[in-house]
Amino acid sequence: MNYVLDFTPVLDGLPDLLVGCLGTLLLALGGMAIAIVIGIGGVVLRDSRYKAVRWAVKGFVELIRNTPFLVQIYFIYFALPLAGMRLDPTPTAILALGINGGAYAIEIIRGGVQSISRGQVEAGLALGLHKGLVFRLIVLKPALRAVFPSLASQFILLTLTTSVASAISAFELTSVAQRIESESFRSFEVFGTITLLYLGISWLMMSFFSTISARFFSYPVK
């Protein structure tokens, strides 16, 4: 087999691939924003005094964590229109990523919340702080500081999971690569190139989270 490498289609399609990288980042950041809201909200509801609410959150977490993301995104894209809710591919992908990431965020953040001693909460209440303020300053921020590395790793994985969104034709890097490959039949060159691009995106996200950690979650140094 005498296969000759030809990166001409890749070079010609490089502008489109770079725009596809932006599409991937858009999906990832949108999904992360939804995931963090679901994560924090789920942690609050997980400790609700109502048993039905607690079980609903538990059921949501188990359902999402024990089913494939591809099935989840297909369900949102193809099944919800039957209920009168029709979304375009990109919003569908962002919603699916947010729901998927949210289920994992609930468990990660809950682990951090459980690491906060009850004494700290009682001390905040004894000082006359409102329950919401106690949760935000005494419980949530230290909890996020403790679990931020795990949460960042999960969100980087979520960024790579955006490639699955190509299954519903959402605009992102893999969907652009598939189009170029189908036109040129240069599978090795195309997918080898986007492998490097995904590595670059992952490095960019790691730098982003490192900056957030240093800015918001580092302990003060004298």
195 exposed, middle or buried (CB, 10 Å; 0-12, 13-18, 19+)?
exposed
Contact 194, 16 (CB under 8 A): no
Average pLDDT estimate for 20-37 = 96
Q: Summarize pLDDT for 145-168 with one digit per residue, the tens.
A: 888 999 999 999 999 999 999 999
- Tell me how far CA of residue 17 lies from CA of 88, 111, 172, 196, in angstroms: 21, 38, 9, 12
Q: Which of 146, 142, 151 is nearest to 121 (CA)?
A: 142
d(CA 207, CA 169): 29
Any idea which residue has 């999402």 for tokens? Answer: 64
How much is the pTM?
Answer: 0.90
* 64-to-70, 72, 103 alpha-carbon distances in Å: 11, 8, 6
Q: 8-192 — its CATH code?
A: 1.10.3720.10
How high is the mean pLDDT of the chain?
90
Q: Where are the domains of the chain?
A: 8-192
Percent of all residues in the chain with a pLDDT value above 90, rounded to a whole number: 64
